[in-house]
Each structure stands twice: as structure tokens, then as C-alpha cells.
Amino acid sequence: MSRRQLIVLAVVLALACALPFLVSNYRTFQFTLVLVYAIALLGLNILTGYNGQISLGHGAFYAIGAYCTAILMDKFGVPYWATLPVAGAVCLVAGFLFGLPALRLEGLYLALATFALGVSLPQLLKNHHVEKWTGGVQGIVISKPDAPFGLPLSPDQWLYFFSLAVAILMFALARNLLRGRIGRAMVAIRDHHIAAETMGVDTAMVKSLSFGVSAMYTGVAGALGAIAVQFVAPDSFNIFLSIVFLVGIVVGGLASITGAIYGALFIQFVPNIADELSKAAPWAIFGVFLILFVYLMPAGVAGALRMALARWQAKRQND
Amino acid sequence: MKRFFVPAAVLVSLALASPAALAQKKYDPGASDKEIKVGHINPYSGPASAYGTIGKAIGAYFRKVNDEGGVNGRKIVFITYDDGYSPPKTVEMARKLVEQDEVLLVFQPLGTPPNSAIHKYMNAKKVPQLFVATGATKWNDPKNYPWTMGWQPNYQTEGSIYAQHILKTKPNAKIGVLYQNDDYGKDYLKGFKDGLGAKAGMIVKEVSYEVADPTVDSQIVQLQASGADTFFNITTPKFAAQAIRKAYDIGWKPVHYLNNVSASVGTVLTPAGLDKSVGLISTQYLKDPTDKAWANDAAVLAWTAFMKKYYPEGSLIAGENFYGWNVAQTMVQVLKQAGDNLTRENVMKQAASLKDFVLPGALPGIKLNTSPTDFAPFESVQLIRFDGKEWVRFGEVMGK
């Protein structure tokens, strides 16, 4: 990282830490959800943005992560923080296993297969064989953790900082992964998989792995989301969630790590703005916003910022 | 000395009197001399958006109340948000209403999962979660959840009423039950068995189905084979239509009780076949504004006039708009009773002390009653029977 990038990062982190003390608990809760979505979007971006595999079913992994946490907390009394690695591991395995057969599917066919996963999971959660674990349609209510060590923070503030710490860790890991050999292999497969194979990239392995890692990120996000919302039910994870994730990464910026954050801000706040503008057709307003974004920033928010910065630098050099 | 004593005495007595003077007007967040903020969450989008019109009808009714001077001189500020029937969104919206908009209470959130998601939160915050739009029995639990209250007759109440009717009219019945295998179905079944009490052995066969099942044909065949002569049908609309049709087609002719959830002529009986639905028994608690019997009823006329003036784009055949008009009146009644003491505690206290309150839209003889140990406003219903064209009421109002 350049010196300027480090300064920007430090300023952003300082702002993120100051935020819960500047706004109400309700806003803090909303920003916690932004962090949660950012992790989920980063997961989907690893798969779709970097590896070029389209998933319309990431809501399913989000749900698996959320249910892992809820069941562990509710039935086994596991502390909330300990459920995150479990949720991540379960989703890593689930994603990897789903990725293996999905290898035979390309582009739109893969999108359909993942769509099937996304639509079927909420119904499977209601199945009576698993009902005693998942609570059926009623879902599971979990309690919100208090700040530990007697820290003078409200539960919302504490959860925000906890999510922030998890998000920083996950983003740092993603950066290392994507900037390294595996990341380059992923991008190579996306851009030209035959060329990548000729270069000695184990296409099958890298693709399955991308699926697994991507699912793990989304699963961890689901787990955090469940703790923040304190409730999971099949209705929380309908197919719309998966579509919204896809919207988030496109608006934020495909194949961009910071894009996940912009996308998360978009999917958290724009529907609320739309709802305030019109009760009759909130999603029509949302659609207008979406079209505006796509037209004005075709490479997503991250791409637009990158271009603006490049233009500014070019201008400064010319002057 | 005396000169000092008099003003001192006046001051002391003023100081003593002032708490009493303040006690006349007491406010929690969301209430003031001028207004009362009522929060509301409804699915305007998403899978249950057909119910979105309830929120609009409620908003229209509050506009009418405000035009007529408000409640005890205060205007109702109605803040309504869309949750798209998604529980996490309901949590977010409830928090927005309570923490940001600072409403006095949250009114009529719709659906069992969305309400379950905010149940704990509302009670921890001690903010009334009033007249929720779901029939689950768990909203009547004043001991553990003193800040939550339902409105419509709950599933257990209804189930026990069918049981009472069977005990009275057919004490030797052999009963078959078909139920949806989830909390809704089990809620009904529990009420039904409680209603039968010691005679629960009258149930000769219980079968269930999953929401994901394509049909309930095999279940109906099983019930017929069990020799049951009375059928309690606890199903949601699609399955109800299948069950009615299948029972008729295989020549099984039990006394058929159909839960109120699926009592719609348009969405259940018509697809099942109106001729195959003759003799079905169900329940009602509100007047049906499309029923010719009520065409000249004062309440239905008042509702029609209200719709034309305040919600002209709303449908006059949608039961949801009639429902919204009625539930909003219940809310206004509670606020009226609360007078100038607009604390959250007093709002709950007033909601829990409805005494024989008559809603114009309720069927004759059905009154709303609540108490500190009874958080179920509607506890009586009227039995209805289908005559091939429409539902016809019969017998007395049943229940408490």
C-alpha cells in the first residue's frame, strides 16, 4: 500500500470507530447491518467478480450461516462469538461441495443451479424432519449479547464494534488471498479459462475453492446478521435476498474489494429512501435509483471513484 | 411570623398540589398536547403485499378522525413503513419507529414471523405492540409479554368453538382431522382438542400435510377409510380447495368444518366447485360487506361512505379494507379511553380494559372484551354454513 492509501485507510477506520458515538442506537444497528452485508457482498464478489461464476443463490449460504449461529446459541448455549467460525466452516464445506458438481455448469446454467438452491432452502428449513432444530416457520429468537468486561457500551454499540473487527479481519484476509497467487489464478480463469489451464492452473480446484471461500464469507455474514437481528425464520431468507446481493456487488463494483462496502450501503439505505418516497411503489423508485446508478457509474461506485481519482491525478501531472 | 407563615403555607400547598395537577396530563415519547404518534408496519411489497391495502385503509381512517378534531383534541400522526413481510426488515422498522420516530406505540404489524421477530424487543423496550394482525394464540400471554396484544379471534378460540358445536349437535361423532404441519395447524388442533376436553377420543384419525406437498388427496382417502363422519379441515386456501373437491369426488360426505383462514368464496370455494362446497361450516366475526344481507346495514353504509371520501382508490369488495376500518376504530377507542394520560403503561392498561366494546363492523352480538389477564379482544364468533351461493349465519354467537 502506498502512503496515501494508508492515510485514507486510517481516516476511514477512525471515522468507523467514532460513528457509534455520534449517531443513535438505531443508526448504529443499521451500520452494523451495512458491515454484515459488506462481508456477504465481498463473498459473492470473490465468486462473481473475481472468478466470473454467477450465483443467484447466495442467500442460501447466508441462511445456513444464520441458522448455524441461531441453533448453536439457542439449543446448545454456545457463546455468540464462538458460533462464527463454525458457521464459516459449515458454509465453506457446503459451498465447496456445491461447487464440485457446479463445475460442469457454465455461466447462465450455473446461475440457474444456484437459483434452485436459493429458492429451495427456505422451504427445506420448514421441513418437519429438521423442524425441531430450525423452529419451522416460527424461526428462532436469540438474545442480543451485552458488552463484555464491563465496557461502557450499549449492546448495539458493542455489536457494531464486534462486527467491525470481524469485517476488518475478513477484508484483510480477502485482500491477501486475491492479491496472491490464488487470486491471480481466479482472475485468469474468469478472463480465459483455457489460457489459465495451459498455464498450469488447476481450474477445477480453484473454481470449487472460490465457491467454498465465497460461501464461507457469506455464511459468516449470515451468522453476524442473525446476532444483530436476534431472529431467524425461513421468511428472512427468500430468493429476493440473493438477488439483492447480486445488485449490491454490481452497484458497488465488480472485482473490487472496497466495492463491497459501497454496495452494502446501497442495499441497506436505498430501499428505505424509496419507501419514504412512495408507499405505492417503493420498488419502482428503487428501480429508478438502480438504473441511474448503472447509467452514471457503469463500473460501480468503486470503478467510478477509481476513474475520478485517475482523472484528477492526470490533470495534476499536466498542470 | 404570621406574615411569613401565610406565603410559606401557600408555597407548600402549591408544591403539594402540583404533582396532582401534572398527573392530569402525562406523556410518554410520542404524545403531546397536540399529537399522538402511532407507528405501523405493513407489507406494502413482497409476498404478502395483498395486505398492503390494510395500512392504507387505517391511514385513511386516521385522516378522517383528524378531520373531525382528532382524539381528545390531539391529532393522530400515523407513521407507516414497509417490511415486505421480511422479519429482519420488521426489526429494523420497529427500531426506527421506537428509537428514531419515538412513537407512542406500534400498531398492527402483520404476520406471525414478522411479529415474532419484534416480540422480545417491544417487550424489552416496554412499547405497546398492539392489535397485531395474526391469529396465533401466543399474542395472548400477558404474564410473559405484557406489551403485546392480538385482535382477531385466535386459532385456538376458533378450534374450540367447532368442538363445542360438535359436542352439542353430534355427541357420538367420529372425527377426522387434517392439519397443516406447522404452528398454525397445531394451534388450531390444540384449541379443538381442548374444546373436546375429556372427549378428545372422538378423534379417530389425525393426518397432516406439509406446505410443500403438491396435494392432500392421499390424506383425504386415509380419512375416509378411517370411517370418520365428521371432518375438521385445518388447511390454507390451496389445500382447502383440494380437500373439499377430493372429499366430494370420492363420495365421502362428512359434516365438514372448514377453518376461517380458508372461508373465502372467491379463492377457495369457487376453485373447489360451489356445488361441492354446499354444507361446509365455518365461522365469521366481521360483517362481510359484499354480503347482500348487509347491503342496507348502517355500518356497511358508513364504511362505503368513508371509503369513497378518504380512500377512493381502495376496493369496495376487498375484506382487507373493511378489516382496516374496524381495527383502526379499536385503536381510536383505546386512545380515547386513555384520555390525557398518554403513557405507554396507560395505553396498555386501557387496551386491557375494553368492556363490551361494540365495533360497528362486528357481527351482531359480538363484543370486544379484555382484562389484565386476557389479551384476546375477539373471543366469540358466529357459525356460518355455505348454501351453494354464499355463507349463511346460523345459531347463536359462540365463545366467551
The ipTM is 0.74
| Domain spanning B35-153+294-379, CATH class | alpha beta
Query: Best residue in A124, A157, A231 to probe B by mutation, most B CBs within 10 Å?
Result: A231
CATH architecture of the domain with range B155-284: 3-Layer(aba) Sandwich (3.40)
Q: Which residues of chain A make contact with B98, given a CB cutoff of 8 A?
A: 26
Q: Per-domain residue ranges for chain A?
A: 26-143+152-318
Instruction: Give the angle B89-B94-B100 at the CA atoms, nearest 5°.
Output: 115
Contact between A205 and A199 under an 8 Å Cβ cutoff? The reply is no
The mean pLDDT of A22-47, rounded to a whole number, is 93
- DSSP states of A127-162: -TTTHHHH-GGG-EE-PPPPPSTT-S--HHHHHHHH
Sign of CA dihedral B217, B222, B223, B225: positive
pLDDT at A300 > cutoff 50: yes
Q: Where in chain B is the domain with CATH 3.40.50.2300?
A: 35-153+294-379, 155-284
Environment class of A180 (CB within 10 Å of its CB; exposed 0-12, middle 13-18, buried 19+): exposed
Q: Please report residues of B whose CB lies closer than 8 A to that of A25.
A: 95, 99
Taking one residue from A and the other from B, the number of pairs with CB-CB distance under 8 angstroms is 94
Find the helix or strand (DSSP H, E) in which A315 lies. Answer: helix A300-318
Q: DSSP for A203-242, please give it.
A: HHHHHHHHHHHHHHHHHHHHHHHHHHHTEE-GGGG-HHHH
| Shortest Cα distance, chain B CAs vs residue A156, angstroms | 12
Give burial (CB, 10 Å; 0-12/13-18/19+) of B109. Answer: buried
pLDDT at B14: 47
Domain A26-143+152-318 CATH assignment equals 1.10.150: no
B244 near B276, Cβ under 8 Å? yes
Q: How many CA atoms lie within 13 A of A139 on its CB side?
A: 28
Cα Rg of chain A, angstroms: 20
Per-residue CA distances from A87 to A72, A82, A162, A267 (Å): 9, 9, 16, 23
Query: How far apart are the C-alpha atoms of A303 and A49, rounded to whole Å?
Result: 13
Contact B96 A26 (CB under 8 A): yes
3-state helix, strand, coil in chain B (%, to 5): 45, 20, 35
Q: What is the mean pLDDT of residues A186-205?
A: 88
- CB nearest B95 (choices: A29, A136, A231): A29
Instruction: Compute φ and ψ for B232, nearest 5 degrees.
Output: -105, 115
Find the radius of gyration of the CA atoms of chain B.
24
At which residue does the C-alpha cell 464494534 appear?
A161
**Partner A, chain B 102-121, Cβ-Cβ below 8 Å:** 111-114, 116-117, 119-121
Average pLDDT across chain B, whole number: 89
pLDDT at res. B4: 52
Nearest chain A residue (CA) to B100: A26
pTM of the model: 0.79
Span between the terminal Cα atoms of chain B, in Å: 67
Q: How far apart are CA B320 and CA B330, in angstroms?
A: 15
Digitized pLDDT (tens) for each residue of chain B, 400 residues in all:
455 555 555 555 444 444 444 457 889 999 999 999 999 999 888 777 878 899 999 999 999 999 999 999 999 999 999 988 888 889 989 999 998 899 999 999 998 888 988 998 999 899 999 999 988 889 999 999 999 999 999 999 999 999 999 999 999 999 999 998 877 888 999 999 999 999 999 999 999 987 778 899 999 999 999 999 999 999 988 899 999 999 999 999 999 999 988 888 877 898 899 999 999 999 999 998 888 888 899 999 999 999 999 999 998 887 889 999 999 999 999 999 999 999 999 999 999 999 999 999 999 999 999 999 999 999 899 999 999 988 999 988 888 7
Contact B112 A137 (CB under 8 A): yes
Instruction: Say whether B293 sits in a helix, a strand or coil.
Output: helix
B254: left (phi over 0), alpha (psi -120 to 50) or beta: beta
A123 interface with B at CB cutoff 8 Å: yes
